[in-house]
Amino acid sequence: MRLLRIRLRDFRGVHDREVHLAESGVTVLEGENEVGKTSTVVALDLLIDFRDDSKAAPVRGAAPAGRDAGPEVEAEFVTGPYHVVYRKRWLRRRLTELHVTGPTTEQLAGREAHDRLLAILDETMDRDLWLALRVEQHTPLGQVDLGGHDALTRALDRAAGGETVGPAVDAAAEGLVERALAEVRRYHGGHGRPVGPLREAGDRVAAARTEADAAAAAVSEVERDVDLRAELDREATGLAEERRAQNARVRELEDRWSALQARQQEVTTSAERAEAARERAGRATERQDARAALVAAAATAEQRAARARETLEGLEAGDQARREDLAERRTEADRALAASDAATAAARTAAAELAAARDRAELADLRGRLRRAETAEEARREAAREAGGPCADAAAVERLEGLDRAVVQAEAELAAGAATVEVTGLGDRTAVAVDGTTREVADGESTTLPVADAVTIDVPGAVRMTVRPGLDGEAARRRVADARTAREQACAALGVADVAAARAASRAAGEAASRVRELAAVVERELGGRPLDDVRGAIATLAERIPAEAAEPAPTRRRGARRPAPDEPGLFEEAGLLDDASGDPEPEDLEPLRLEAVRTLDAADEAHRVARGAEEAWRRLDASVTTAGADVVAARTALAVARSEADRRTGELREARAEYPDDALAAAATDALARARRYEADHEQRAAALEADDPTTVEALYATAKRAVDSLTQRTADVERRRAEVTGRLQVAGGEGRHDRHAAARTELAAAEREHASVSRRAAAAVRLHDTLARRRDEVRRAYVAPFRREVERLARIVFGPSLALEVDPALRIVSRTLNGVTVPFDALSTGAKEQLGLCARLAVAALVDAEDGVPVLIDDALGHSDPGRLERLAAVFGAAAAGSSHQVVVLTCTPARYRGIGANRTVTLNPSYPPPQAVPAADEEPPDTDASDPTSTGSAEFRAG
């Protein structure tokens, strides 16, 4: 089909517009938004699809807004051999007109026209392809579904060279594949899993087989039980037989065993009798032995008693001799003790004397020390008194010297300020008395004297000159007088005449203080730090302790002692005190006393040692005497015991002999032994006879036979029990209808298997059919995939470059794109690349399809995702697609720049087409071409040759 012309009237926003399209090649319709580009496409669909009496939503949507006019579309096109002008108006003043101008002229209207047109289109045009090659606004320009389009497949079939089989593809055949697949799906899910009837049939077979197996098992269980029961019956019969035979055998053995048991009893009895006789013989022998032992014991006891008597006698003799010796020793010890006591008394006396002498010496020493301390103390107190005088105060003496210096200063000041008298010697040594003081004045020598006060100068003999100071020296003189008065008062306070005396007194006080310290040291040394009263107390204690007679020698010796002279100057006295105790009485000579005491003590020790030795010797002897006495007592006791034992034994023996004399006992023993031997022989004989008849074997046989009977009884009971069990089971099973169940189960299994076979066959048929159909279809498709792919690749290489390769599946879908060796699935490509490939695919189809079969490729504002570089190449694609082909491409765009480079055969700029003002008569519909830019004019298209 080729569109030549489309005219819209009162269609949506378009008042009236006619567009002429290039018969082949690219026509670009460009215009602003809402100018009615898309309406042009919509109008074509309405024209074909909706009858003029339709009030469907798309028809109503095409009515112009706000105006009471029916939308009208007129199209002129060539399709197949037909050249057609077709016009329709809906809603208002409806009409349908069809003018066919070739190959034969037809003129139709109304319903006839509509139907005739559809018939023409069905005859000449692949309408699915027409829709498929269209790219709507705002829909992604992606994969195009091209499978099953008549025109395309015819074209591809031609391209593949497959002419001979006639029309290659039938859309109905495609539907058959779908139906065959649906049939397969009835039986097989994913992965060949059985579903629906096939699965049900399989389940039925499985269930039936399970049931048949169970039923067969139930039946064979009964059959086994029947066999078992027969077996048990046989066994029971055999067992009864066996028991009868075994019972007879038991009875026979029992008789033999009973007889043997009686004899066994006899043997046992004889054995017991022999045993009793052996015991009696043993007892007689024992009594004989006991008698002999008793005789021996009596003799032994008698011997022991005799030995004890001898021992006692020896001991008693030794004891007497030791007692005599003991008395002697006792006397000796007493003597030595007395001598020791005397020596001890002498030693004690000598020690007493020595102690008394020592006390006296100490008393004398203490008394001397006391006396010296008292003297020193006294001297110390005296010196302290001296040291404590007024001049002892060093500060007071200092002050006095200060006052003295003040006097001298005052006098000096007076002299300095006073008039002077110069006395000059005129002759040889003249004596002059100045204020009473005589001095000699040599010739030429002069002395200057200050006249502080009235100075009297006497030249002896000659004159008395009194020089008095004038009034001007009065103040100085009064200050001197005041200073002197103060000095005199201070001297008086100190009790001294003048300053020199004060200095002497101060020095004396210092010396006295040092003496006080020295004397205190003396007292300290003499008393050893003890207060005087302590020393006095010690003296009193000592004096009391010394008895009067012991103190007797002391006065004689004290007479020789030097007595101190009380009138001697104290200085010496004091010196003596400091030196030693020269004033003490002479000490007593203690040495002879000490020697005496030592000697007597030694003698006492010796005497004591001797006495101790004697006593010990006595005591030792005494102890041995005591021990020997105990031995004697023990020996006496032993004798008594031995005697008593000997008597008892003798008595016992006597009594025993009175009862049984020794020879009677011997006869009884011999007799008993003989009887025992007899009985034993009898028993052995019987036992040997019994053993010869082998009672053990008979007993074993008997026991075995009895056990066999028991075992048979047991087995019989067991068989009976099992038989009862089986019988019970059979009774139960008999009423269960197991045969019926088994028969029903087998019938069901056979039916289920038949059904399964039938369903499986149907499923296999479906699979086979689908496989065959699909394989055939794919073969056909593969045949025309190649030319399609070649054409798409040819175009796409312009965009993507020469390395591009595409994979296309039998449904003519692009599977993947390979570029520079990198393969990317179509779905993973960018939107832009998908768009470009989609466009290439459509243009390829258009280029492939036969010119007569072809339909226009309609592209409504696509390629929004392509960059300028690709756009340029896409433009070349349009050109390449057009080359050598006569198909029609219509591009609608609001951005003309996108399609500038495509070399359009015709570019139509669409301008708004508004309705004229009310005043303008609507009949004026076909004005001559006017200025296209005039917005109020009837819309028209401006044609430019592409």
Partner 1 sequence: MRFVHTADWQLGMTRRFLGAGRVGQAVGEAQARFAQARLDAVAALGRVAGDEGAAFVVVCGDVFESNLVGPDVVGRACEALRSVPVPVLLLPGNHDPADASLVTRRADFVRRCPPHVTVLDTPGVHPVAPGVEVVAAPWATKRPLSDLVGDRLRALEPAPEGVVRVLAGHGAVDVLSPDERNPAVIGTAECRAALADGRVHYVALGDRHSTWQLHGEPRIAYSGAPEVTSHEETDPGNVLVVDVGPDGAASVRPVRVGRWAFTREHALADSDDDLAALDARLDALDAPERTALRLAVEGTLTLRQRARLDEITEAHAPVLAALEVDLSGVVTRPDDADVEALGLSGFAADAAQELAAAARDDADPAALDALALLHRLAVTR
* By the rule CB under 8 A, 170 interacts with partner 1: yes
Least distance in angstroms from the C-beta of 184 to partner 1? 10
Q: How far apart are CA 187 and CA 202, in angstroms?
A: 11
Phi-psi sector, 441: left (phi>0), alpha (psi -120 to 50), beta: beta
Sign, CA dihedral 481-484-489-490, equals positive
* By the rule CB under 8 A, 173 interacts with partner 1: yes
Least distance in angstroms from the C-beta of 726 to partner 1? 7
Q: How far apart are CA 294 and CA 287, in angstroms?
A: 11
Least distance in angstroms from the C-beta of 761 to partner 1? 6
Size of the site for partner 1 (CB under 8 A): 61
Q: Specify the residue, 183 or 518, whose C-beta has the smaller distance to partner 1.
A: 183
Q: How far apart are CA 320 and CA 625, in angstroms?
A: 9
Least distance in angstroms from the C-beta of 172 to partner 1? 7
Nearest residue to 473 via CA among 491, 455, 490? 455
For the record, the structure tokens of 788 come out as: 């399609």
* By the rule CB under 8 A, 339 interacts with partner 1: no
For partner 1, the binding residue among 161, 651, 734, 825 (CB under 8 A) is 734
Least distance in angstroms from the C-beta of 841 to partner 1? 23
DSSP 851: T
* By the rule CB under 8 A, 183 interacts with partner 1: yes
CA 546 to chain centre: 96
* By the rule CB under 8 A, 53 interacts with partner 1: no
Q: How far apart are CA 130 and CA 151, in angstroms?
A: 10
* By the rule CB under 8 A, 149 interacts with partner 1: no
Least distance in angstroms from the C-beta of 939 to partner 1? 47
For partner 1, the binding residue among 172, 262, 317, 630 (CB under 8 A) is 172
* By the rule CB under 8 A, 128 interacts with partner 1: no
Q: Rule CB under 8 A: which of 687-726 touch partner 1?
A: 726
Q: Rule CB under 8 A: which of 354-413 touch partner 1?
A: none
Q: Is 21 exposed, middle or buried (0-12, 13-18, 19+ CB in 10 A)?
A: buried
Q: How far apart are CA 45 and CA 731, in angstroms?
A: 87
Instruction: Quickly tell me which residue has 């203490």 as its tokens.
Output: 366
Q: Which long-range contacts (CB under 8 A, 24 or more apart) does 708-711 make?
A: 708/246, 709/243, 709/246, 709/247, 709/250
Q: How far apart are CA 50 and CA 47, in angstroms?
A: 6
Please answer whether residues 352 and 549 qualify as being in contact, where contact means their C-beta atoms are separated by less than 8 angstroms.
no
Q: Specify the residue, 222 or 876, whose C-beta has the smaller distance to partner 1.
A: 222
Q: Specify the residue, 348 or 739, whose C-beta has the smaller distance to partner 1.
A: 739
* By the rule CB under 8 A, 651 interacts with partner 1: no
Candidate ranges 26-34, 171-179, 383-391, 586-594; the one touching partner 1 (CB under 8 A)? 171-179
* By the rule CB under 8 A, 123 interacts with partner 1: no
* By the rule CB under 8 A, 731 interacts with partner 1: yes
Least distance in angstroms from the C-beta of 223 to partner 1? 8
* By the rule CB under 8 A, 732 interacts with partner 1: no
Q: How far apart are CA 897 and CA 912, in angstroms?
A: 20
Q: How far apart are CA 856 and CA 77, in angstroms?
A: 11
Q: Which amino acid is at 925?
A: E
Q: Which residues contact 3 (CB under 8 A, 6 or more apart)?
A: 21, 44, 75, 76, 77, 856, 888, 890
Q: Specify the residue, 575 or 786, whose C-beta has the smaller distance to partner 1.
A: 786
Where does 81-170 have alpha helices with state H?
A: 110-124, 127-132, 150-160
Q: Specify the residue, 464 or 782, whose C-beta has the smaller distance to partner 1.
A: 782
For the record, the structure tokens of 110 come out as: 């109304």
Q: Rule CB under 8 A: which of 739-768 touch partner 1?
A: 739-748, 750-751, 761-762, 764-766, 768
For partner 1, the binding residue among 436, 735, 802, 821 (CB under 8 A) is 735
Q: How far apart are CA 602 and CA 840, in angstroms?
A: 159
For partner 1, the binding residue among 68, 138, 163, 167 (CB under 8 A) is 167
* By the rule CB under 8 A, 278 interacts with partner 1: no
Q: Which residues contact 610 (CB under 8 A, 6 or more apart)?
A: 336, 339, 340
Least distance in angstroms from the C-beta of 257 to partner 1? 43
Least distance in angstroms from the C-beta of 35 to partner 1? 45
Binding mask 197-236 for partner 1 (x = CB under 8 A): -------x--xx--x-------x--xx-xx--xx------
Q: Rule CB under 8 A: which of 881-920 touch partner 1?
A: none
Q: Rule CB under 8 A: which of 533-552 touch partner 1?
A: none
Least distance in angstroms from the C-beta of 214 to partner 1? 11
Q: Specify the residue, 43 or 749, whose C-beta has the smaller distance to partner 1.
A: 749
Please answer whether residues 797 and 818 qualify as being in contact, where contact means their C-beta atoms are separated by less than 8 angstroms.
no
* By the rule CB under 8 A, 777 interacts with partner 1: yes
Cα-based torsion angle of the residue sequence 141, 144, 149, 152 in order, rounded to the nearest 10 degrees: 80
Least distance in angstroms from the C-beta of 145 to partner 1? 18
Instruction: Quickly tell me which residue has 């079969």 as its tokens.
Output: 853
Q: Is 665 exposed, middle or buried (0-12, 13-18, 19+ CB in 10 A)?
A: buried
For partner 1, the binding residue among 769, 805, 811, 876 (CB under 8 A) is 769
Candidate ranges 53-61, 402-410, 481-489, 729-737; the one touching partner 1 (CB under 8 A)? 729-737
Least distance in angstroms from the C-beta of 2 to partner 1? 28
* By the rule CB under 8 A, 151 interacts with partner 1: no
Burial state string for 763-783 with b = 16 or more CB within 10 A and e = fewer than 16: beebbebbeebeeebeebbeb
For partner 1, the binding residue among 284, 434, 773, 874 (CB under 8 A) is 773
Q: Specify the residue, 22 or 783, whose C-beta has the smaller distance to partner 1.
A: 783
* Binding footprint of partner 1 on the chain (CB under 8 A): 165-170, 172-173, 175-177, 179-180, 183, 204, 207-208, 211, 219, 222-223, 225-226, 229-230, 726-727, 730-731, 733-748, 750-751, 761-762, 764-766, 768-769, 772-773, 775-777, 779-780
